[in-house]
Each structure stands twice: as C-alpha cells, then as structure tokens.
Amino acid sequence: MEITNLTRRFGGRTVVEDVSLSVMPGQVTCLLGPSGCGKSTTLRLIAGVDTPDAGSISVDGRTVCDDTSRVPPESRSIGLMFQDFALFPHLDVARNVAFGLSGPKAEIRARVRAMLDRVGMGRYEKAFPHELSGGEQQRVALARALAPKPRVMLMDEPFSGLDDRLRDGIRDETLDLLKEEGAAVLLVTHEPAEAMRMADEIALMRDGRIVQRGAPYNIYNAPHDLEAAAFFSDVNVVKGTVRGALTETPFGAFLAPGLADGTEVDIVFRPQHVRIDFDRAGRGPNPTPEQGNAARGVVTRARFMGAESLVEFRMDFDGSVLKAQVPSVFLPRPGMPLWLMVRRDRCFVFPSGVH
C-alpha cells in the first residue's frame, strides 16, 4: 500500500498533514503517537470512510483514492479491525466470519472453518458473541477481518480492550497469522511497547505529521528529537552550550557537530544507560572513554521494581534531578551520595526547544 501526501482538515484545522507511507506485503507498520495526533483519522481516510482534502492512496498498484477518483470502502481490498468495530451480536461466530465473503456456499464454509481453526476457535462456530470472552471475541474478529484475504489490514488499537496477560499472547498469535496471510498491515497504537513488539517499521506521528520513520531499534536508539526520545521511556536531560562543536558538561565533553557556538543544547539519555558507583571519601571513579566523567549526586528516592531499581538523585552540580535504572541488587538509601556515569554512545545531543 502506498499513501502519498495525505491531508485532512476539519474546519480551519489540519489534523492530518502531508502523510506519506508505504507498507509492503507481510510487513507491519505501526502508526505511533499520542492521543489526538491524527492516527485514527489517517486510518479512516485509508479505509475510505472519510475523504482526504489532498493526497492519494493505492493498493497493489491500483489507485483507490486521489483528487479525481474514489473507490468505495468495500472495494478497496482493505480489512478492518477497529477497537469499536465489534462483532455482530445477532450472528453466530461462523456467520460473523462469513459476513464479507462471496462465492459458492461450500467455499465460504471451508474458508470460515479454516480461519476459525487457525485462530483456535473451531469449536465455537455456533456460539454467539456474548457467550465469548474478550480474547475469544478478538480472535473471531481477526478471523472475520482476514477471511476475505484483504491485501491491506488496518488495525486501530485492536488489543486495548484485553487485559495485560491475555494481550501478549494474542498479539503474538495475531502477528504470526498476519505474516502468514501476507497482508500489508498498518496498526495504530499510542503504546510504544506495543509498537516495538509488533512493528517491522514504526512511523512516529505528532500534530498530524510523521516526524520519524524506521525500524523499532533505530527509532529507539536514534530518536529525531527530545520528544521522540521521551515517548519511549523516561529520559534525563543535562543542559549545555556549544563551543567549537563540543559541549562541556559535568559528565565530560559531548560532540555537537554542525551546531554553532553559543547554541543551547539538551544532552539526553535514558535511565538504563546510567551507571552508579560508590563515593570514596568524596571522590568518584576515574574517567573512562566509554563513560566520560563521573558526577556526584545524592539519592532522593529509590524504588524496587523487581529486576531493577529506579533511583533518583539530586545532582551536586546544579541541583537537578536525574534518574538511573540499575540492577535491583542495588537499592541505595535516600541521603546516600553516589557517582553517576553515562554510556556516551547512548546519549543524544539536541538543540534546546527545537522540533
């Protein structure tokens, strides 16, 4: 599926702006972003239940929507699985799955049976939706969406109604089935963990625009800006000023290539990339090339989180608060002075206040 420069305005407000995306067969792309950024509107435009002000959409090389033509939703070869796109309550499971299918009766019956077996719901053909659990209903909804062999599958927060333990299993099963069927999948979510688990590619959306696209690993490890970094985890920010393409901080100097002298920058790093070390009569560990200088802070809070501890420090150098996520064998007491070092290859330098 190919989307080019899709734009949608409501009143004077642009809700989707110049969105371009392509999704290949067997690939899952996650449209990820905070509530209200325009994800669902984008999906509705692709599905054909809303019309863009500009832009085009094509499926399998066939234009289904542009300035001059518009194929109706049911002829776009697009499957839908929306959070509020419930099963038909008055139809049993088999009829729900058969709903979008046409052709000889025997073929429809065989396809329904194959899809239900595939999602582990073969025994529930005659059951009605209200007799099923949330997870079971979700499986039937997936079978129904995939039964007509859509070339594209659109999913809007499809797992949000399920409890945590059930969700992980159903996500994995769904992913396996989607890959097997070879549909191009566009999945909307506001949860970074879900996007990282499901996506081959993440398109990060903000204020109607796609701000960054890439594999989950790349988006997480090379975010476009502070906001993109902070969307995936807590982050620490240390302020600095550029002098000669470098910025000096209590953690050592950081490269700031391409930034003019005097530019204010944020040095950004995640709590899991902070190392802590003991205070030895007011002295810390020696600097290393990998971790730079150590800076001293005093523990203000420490929480045991199972495998890790989350420790907050008030830093001696400016009184700011930094967070470290460390193995839970460390659970320091508040008031304890400790030294912090930062994995330099996991730090990002961004001009302050620029998006």
Near ligand ATP by CB under 6 A, which window of 33-41, 66-74, 85-93, 222-230? 33-41
**Closest distance to ligand ATP from the beta carbon of 13 (Å):** 7
Binding of ligand ATP at residue 15 (CB under 6 A)? yes
Near ligand ATP by CB under 6 A, which window of 37-45, 66-74, 328-336, 345-353? 37-45
Binding of ligand ATP at residue 41 (CB under 6 A)? yes
Contact status, residue 11 vs residue 183, Cβ threshold 8 Å: no
Among 37, 162, 268, 315, binds ligand ATP (CB under 6 A): 37
**Closest distance to ligand ATP from the beta carbon of 43 (Å):** 8
Binding of ligand ATP at residue 206 (CB under 6 A)? no
Among 1, 30, 38, 199, binds ligand ATP (CB under 6 A): 38
**Closest distance to ligand ATP from the beta carbon of 189 (Å):** 8
Please, which residue, 157 or 201, has the CB nearer to ligand ATP? 157
Please, which residue, 37 or 229, has the CB nearer to ligand ATP? 37
Binding of ligand ATP at residue 325 (CB under 6 A)? no
**Closest distance to ligand ATP from the beta carbon of 282 (Å):** 50
Q: Which residues contact 239 (CB under 8 A, 6 or more apart)?
A: 264, 265, 266, 267, 318, 352
Size of the site for ligand ATP (CB under 6 A): 11
Query: Phi and psi of 303, rounded to 5°?
Result: -125, 135
Binding of ligand ATP at residue 332 (CB under 6 A)? no
Binding of ligand ATP at residue 36 (CB under 6 A)? yes
Residue 289: alpha-carbon gap to chain centroid:
33
Q: Which residues 166-205 are close enough to bind ligand ATP by CB under 6 A? A: 190
Binding of ligand ATP at residue 265 (CB under 6 A)? no
Please, which residue, 35 or 69, has the CB nearer to ligand ATP? 35
Site string for ligand ATP, 214-243 (x = CB under 6 A): ------------------------------
| HSE-CB for 113 with a 13 A CA cutoff | 6
DSSP one-letter code for 214: E
CA atoms of 45 and 283, how far apart (whole Å) = 60
**Closest distance to ligand ATP from the beta carbon of 291 (Å):** 39
**Closest distance to ligand ATP from the beta carbon of 5 (Å):** 17
Please, which residue, 46 or 302, has the CB nearer to ligand ATP? 46
Binding of ligand ATP at residue 35 (CB under 6 A)? yes
Please, which residue, 41 or 174, has the CB nearer to ligand ATP? 41
Q: Which residues 111-140 are close enough to bind ligand ATP by CB under 6 A? A: none
Look-up of token digits 């097997």: 180
CA atoms of 206 and 113, how far apart (whole Å) = 42
**Closest distance to ligand ATP from the beta carbon of 40 (Å):** 3
Query: Phi and psi of 12, rounded to 5°?
Result: -90, 0
Cβ atoms < 10 Å from Cβ of 269: 21
How many residues comprise the chain?
A: 355
Copy the structure tokens of residue 338.
Answer: 């400790």
Among 3, 6, 19, 39, binds ligand ATP (CB under 6 A): 39
The residues binding ligand ATP (CB under 6 A) are: 10, 15, 33, 35-41, 190
